Amino acid sequence: MQPFNSRLLSLLFFALPKVAIGTNDVDAGFDAYAAAQVMINKASHSWEWGTAAEALLELYNPELSVFGSSPFPNGKVPQPNPNTTALAYAKQFINRNSQTLVNDTAVGDPASLGVSAILLGQSDSVYIGAANREADFILNIAPRWSNGAISHRADVAELWADNMAMSFPFLAYLAVEQDDTSLMSVTVQQCGLQRAVLKGNNLSWQHIIGPQSQDTGLWSTSNGWAGYGMVRVLHTLQKWSGSASMISQATQLKGWIKEILDGAMQSSLDDGLLRNYLNDSSWFGEISGTSVLSAVAYRMAVNDPDMFPQSYITWADTNRKSLAKKQNSEGIFSPAINPYDWHDRTQFTTGSPEGQAFTVYLYTAYRDCVNAKICQTPTGSAAS
Ligand SMILES: *[C@@H]1O[C@H](CO)[C@@H](O)[C@H](O)[C@H]1NC(C)=O
Ligand SMILES: *[C@@H]1O[C@H](CO)[C@@H](O)[C@H](O)[C@H]1NC(C)=O
Ligand SMILES: *[C@@H]1O[C@H](CO)[C@@H](O)[C@H](O)[C@H]1NC(C)=O
Ligand SMILES: CC(=O)N[C@H]1CO[C@H](CO)[C@@H](O)[C@@H]1O
């Protein structure tokens, strides 16, 4: 339970702009801005704040995100206005004087705010200090698995696929900020170490391996965390001049992302949606994993059209059209899996903060694919 404090109070009155200027909006069949408003109204945990901040950055200021055409001018992190929607949102949650960006029992979850901290740090160095302490915690204090993979839990060594979207996009971004190619290498190496434990005999990853909360099921959402997290690491690496020569690491990441997408694409649907545990017919289809994995497909179709050809776009388009039917007039997508209990068989219909964020990722990934003239608009023509 979260304390009712002034940070939450300010959050309640945080109204988002209904359109983003200069982003070449497209018709994806649903309202991403309404989805984003629900997302920030409902977000109340560290990983939700960080996931939402990334969604707001991609939605309102795509040029600042790693999916922009030049996110690192002259090989450096950009110098954004701290009043930018995503940064003003993130700022209210970030600890300025603690070891971690949010006080939390997870290692990875506070790090989801790390990219925001680094961007805020370009105009207020207090946030660079906060980001550096967060990285110190992840790299030097958090427990490790026997192969060296960084734990998602602070008290025991336990690996969660979820952490792929928390710690590693942040560490890759910090590598750029610090001009540290070895940190970029370590980040890619960590992705491989996490995969070595979490990917069993299937293409899809298991959710959690460890002594506290082990879940060997192929959780749809956690495959999305892993896929989208690696997509962000990949784009950070490729768009930074300092790691331009790290071709083999980029190739590794693409292969790991492709496994996850192929596993999802071979999994059965229920009412047009991926099941909560992939291909497990006892589970209902739900919006969270479907949205984020479809976003991964669009991002990779733009990133490497030879490796991720039309079949990936067709799969994502089909899912997107199914998802468009699942948004109500308040902007809520359902059914989602309960974001606080992945084993809950009751459909979650009141707005999952992470699920809503994933629909924003789906929108931005589709928008950018259309504007890159790789995806087609509903009328069959590329965007003008
Ligand atoms: C950010 O907003 C505050 C409050 O409206 C204002 O005082 C400040 O000048 C703005 N900063 C920039 C860099 O625009
Ligand atoms: C977080 O924990 C640190 C150290 O225990 C403490 O000093 C700080 O006040 C806490 N911050 C919040 C926002 O609870
Ligand atoms: C999903 O289940 C079907 C039918 O049981 C099977 O043919 C297919 O290989 C499974 N897909 C994966 C990725 O395991
Ligand atoms: C959780 C899950 O679906 N695991 C499957 C992984 O693949 C093996 C076959 O290689 C299946 O037997 C498992 O059920």
Q: What's the pTM?
A: 0.94
Q: Which of 199, 202, 208 to mutate to test the pocket of ligand 4 (most atoms within 8 A of CB)?
A: 202
Q: What is the CATH number of the domain that holds 200?
A: 1.50.10.10
What is the pLDDT, as a whole number, of residue 5? 41
User: Does any domain span residue 217?
Assistant: yes
Cβ neighbors of 73 (< 8 A, separation 6 or more) are: none
User: Does any domain span residue 382?
Assistant: no
In the reported structure, the alpha carbon of residue 279 is separated from the centroid of ligand 4 by a whole-number distance in angstroms of 10
Mean pLDDT confidence for 61-65: 97
What is the pLDDT, as a whole number, of residue 20? 79
User: Number of folded domains in the chain?
Assistant: 1
In the reported structure, the alpha carbon of residue 1 is separated from the centroid of ligand 4 by a whole-number distance in angstroms of 36
What is the pLDDT, as a whole number, of residue 16? 87
User: Does any domain span residue 8?
Assistant: no
Residue 371 in contact with ligand 2 by CB distance below 6 A: no
Q: Which tens digits make up the pLDDT trace of 177-217?
A: 999 999 999 999 999 999 999 999 999 999 999 999 999 99
Per-residue pLDDT band at 228 (split at 50, 70, 90): very high
Per-residue pLDDT band at 227 (split at 50, 70, 90): very high
User: Does any domain span residue 13?
Assistant: no
User: Does any domain span residue 22?
Assistant: no
Q: Which domain holds residue 220?
A: 32-371
User: Does any domain span residue 19?
Assistant: no
Pair 287, 355: CB distance under 8 Å: yes
What is the pLDDT, as a whole number, of residue 317? 98
Q: Which of 204, 205, 260, 268 to mutate to test the pocket of ligand 3 (most atoms within 8 A of CB)?
A: 268
What is the pLDDT, as a whole number, of residue 102? 96
Strands 269-270 and 208-209: unpaired
Q: Which of 20-29, 151-160, 271-280, 361-370 has the lowest mean pLDDT?
A: 20-29
User: Does any domain span residue 91?
Assistant: yes
Question: Taking 50 as the threshold, does the pLDDT of residue 292 lie above it?
Answer: yes
- Ligand 4: atom nearest CA of 279 is 3
What is the pLDDT, as a whole number, of residue 22? 77
